């Protein structure tokens, strides 16, 4: 069985039409790699198992985040062509496969068994098996299992490639109406309040849009902490993306926090997107109040930097004011 490179070869490029080889058809290894994935036209004919001849290796395949039609033609071809599929919950993946008429052995790979089953998976890759890794929804590894498997496979130069597709993080970002040019995907915030606030204080000075996954039961509390530690920025809560009840609620953090506090936890799944800090004229900001807020969650230096960023005050001046607030001069005699 042909073995694909893991992209560390001389060209480092992959065949965009399916295989793992270089992207130019005339490239040095093109003959070895092309035509491994069945042509896309075959998928259009519907649900049938392709006599695929995929190269050996690990294929990271993105799956829908709600709407089962959101999977790429290449993703389907790979799922049809591999020997077996590693997945978080076999029931969830079985449903997706049934929708597309694919029958494949499914092996669980999740947080609770990953360390135990990883050696056998690596052994299978060494033997030249073709394995797909999917998560319950979206892009595997993104707040989902798979990172240690990819790291271990890459360390041995075993072939790994990806069929990209949906991710709730990017879908929420592009629907948020917030600047998408520089963003930080922050994953899940810690569930406990003190750790969550420490984490938010760490992201506060970044001049970037922030994207958080959040359990719906914590949306209101997290929005309130964000408002306090990041300032009352423009934000959006994107819920049930690609599903029947998709909703993107946009507003300032304070309004959104109030809405979810009053309305109760929303249903389904949600992503919180928070815009970058918005510099405001120093005179329009209650500098004292904002500094007090910042000093509750960050170091003197970080609080001063954030204040300077938000108000346009010189850093040195912001630091002086922060210091004066933290260590007030004793009253004179
Ligand atoms: N790997 C997945 C991805 O790339 O989208 C994310 C998996 S993570 C365990 C699950 C979190 O993703 C949820 O708690 C929620 O924050 C977000 N999420 C997943 N599907 C969503 C959807 N349809 N609408 C909104 N958020 C979603």
Q: What is the DSSP string of 237-272?
A: EEESTTSTT-EEEEEEHHHHHHHHHHH-SPSS-EEE
Could you tell which of 136, 143, 244 is best to mutate to test the pocket of ligand 1, judged by most ligand atoms within 8 Å of the CB?
A: 143
DSSP calls for 279-327: ---GGGS-HHHHHHHHHHHS-HHHHHHHHHHHH---HHHHHHHHHHHHS
- Token pair recorded at residue 131: 């394995």
> Which one, of 222, 227, 325, 316, lies nearest residue 277 by Cα?
227
What is the structure's pLDDT at 282?
A: 64
How would CATH label the architecture of 169-274? 2-Layer Sandwich (3.30)
Residue 179, phi then psi, degrees to nearest 5: -60, 120
Q: What is the pLDDT of residue 5?
A: 40
Question: Which pLDDT score, from 0 to 100, does residue 292 have?
Answer: 87
CA-CA distance, 58 to 159, in Å (whole number)? 6
Instruction: Locate the ligand 1 atom nearest the alpha carbon of residue 137 and give its number.
Output: 2
List helix spans (H) across the chain: 30-33, 40-44, 73-81, 90-99, 114-127, 147-155, 168-176, 193-203, 219-230, 253-263, 287-297, 300-311, 315-326
- Start-end ranges of CATH 3.40.1010.10 in the chain? 30-166
Q: What pLDDT is recorded for position 299?
A: 82
Please give the pLDDT value at position 284.
Answer: 61
CA of 74 to the centre of ligand 1 (A): 22
Beta bridge partners of residue 88, listed in sequence order: none
Ligand 1 centroid, distance to 9 Cα (angstroms): 34
Give the ligand 1 atom nearest the CA of 135.
1
Q: 332 CA distance to ligand 1 centroid (A)?
A: 58
Tell me if residue 78 falls in helix, strand or coil: helix
Closest atom of ligand 1 to CA, residue 246: 24
Span from the CA of 312 to the centroid of ligand 1 (angstroms): 36
3.40.190.290, 3.40.1010.10, 3.40.50.300, 3.90.1170.40: CATH of 30-166: 3.40.1010.10
The pLDDT, as a whole number, for residue 9 is 37
For ligand 1, mutation pick of 144, 244, 266, 271 (most atoms within 8 Å of CB)? 271
Q: How many CB atoms lie within 10 A of CB 40?
A: 14
The rounded Å distance from CA 31 to ligand 1 centre is 39
- Along the 333 residues of the chain, how does pLDDT read in single tens digits? 444 444 333 333 444 444 433 333 223 233 233 334 443 434 444 444 444 589 999 999 999 999 999 999 999 999 999 999 999 999 999 999 999 999 999 999 999 999 999 999 999 999 999 999 999 999 999 999 999 999 999 999 999 999 999 999 999 999 999 999 999 999 999 999 999 999 999 999 999 999 999 999 999 999 999 999 999 999 999 999 999 999 999 999 999 999 999 999 999 999 999 999 987 766 666 788 888 888 887 888 888 877 777 777 778 888 888 888 888 776 554
b/e map 175-214, b = 16+ CB within 10 Å: bbebeeeebebbeebeeeeeebbebbbebbbbebbbbbbb
- What's the pLDDT at 55? 97
pLDDT at 41: 38
Return the sign of the alpha-carbon dihedral for residues 46, 48, 51, 54: positive
CA distance 169 to 72: 18
* Maximum separation of any 2 CA atoms in the chain, in Å: 91
Strand partners, 96: none
Residues with Cβ within 8 Å of 186's Cβ and at least 6 positions away in sequence, in order, are 199, 203, 210, 211, 212
How close is the Cα of 64 to the center of ligand 1, in Å?
10
Q: How far away, in angstroms, is 329 Cα from ligand 1 center?
A: 50
Q: Which residues line ligand 1 (CB under 6 A)?
A: 65-66, 135, 137-139, 142-144, 167-169, 213-215, 238-243, 269-271
> Count of CB atoms within 10 A of residue 19's CB?
22
Pocket test for ligand 1, best of 213, 222, 237 (most atoms within 8 A of CB): 213
Start-end of CATH 3.30.950.10 domains in the chain = 169-274
135 alpha carbon to ligand 1 midpoint, in Å? 11
Atom of ligand 1 nearest to the CA of 62: 4
């Amino acid at each position: 069985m042909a073995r694909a490179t893991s992209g560390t070869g001389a060209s480092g490029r992959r065949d965009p039409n399916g295989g793992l080889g270089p992207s130019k058809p005339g490239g040095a290894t093109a003959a070895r790699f092309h035509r491994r994935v069945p042509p896309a036209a075959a998928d259009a004919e519907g649900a049938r198992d392709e006599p695929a001849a995929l190269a050996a290796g690990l294929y990271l395949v993105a799956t829908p985040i709600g709407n089962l039609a959101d999977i790429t033609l290449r993703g389907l071809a790979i799922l049809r062509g591999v020997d077996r599929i590693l997945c978080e919950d076999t029931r969830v993946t079985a449903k997706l496969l049934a929708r597309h008429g694919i029958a494949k052995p499914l092996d669980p790979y999740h947080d609770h068994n990953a360390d135990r089953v990883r050696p056998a998976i690596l052994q299978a890759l060494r033997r030249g098996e073709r394995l797909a890794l999917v998560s319950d929804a979206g892009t595997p590894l993104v707040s989902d299992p798979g990172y240690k498997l990819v790291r271990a496979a890459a360390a041995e130069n075993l072939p790994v490639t990806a069929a990209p597709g949906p991710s709730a993080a990017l879908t929420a970002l592009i629907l948020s109406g917030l600047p998408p040019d520089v963003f930080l995907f922050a994953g899940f915030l810690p569930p406990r309040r003190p750790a969550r606030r420490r984490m938010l204080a760490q992201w506060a000075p970044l001049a970037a849009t922030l994207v958080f996954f959040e359990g719906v039961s914590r949306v209101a509390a997290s929005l309130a902490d964000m408002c306090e530690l990041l300032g009352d920025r423009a934000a959006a809560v994107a819920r049930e993306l690609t599903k029947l009840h998709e909703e993107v609620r946009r507003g300032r953090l304070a309004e959104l926090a109030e809405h979810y506090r009053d309305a109760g936890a929303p249903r389904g799944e949600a992503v919180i997107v928070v815009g970058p800090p918005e510099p405001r004229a120093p005179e329009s900001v209650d500098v004292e109040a904002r500094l007090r807020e910042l000093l509750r969650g960050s170091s003197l230096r970080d609080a001063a930097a954030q204040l300077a960023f938000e108000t346009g005050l010189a850093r040195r001046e912001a630091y002086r004011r922060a210091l004066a607030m933290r260590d007030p001069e004793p009253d004179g005699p």
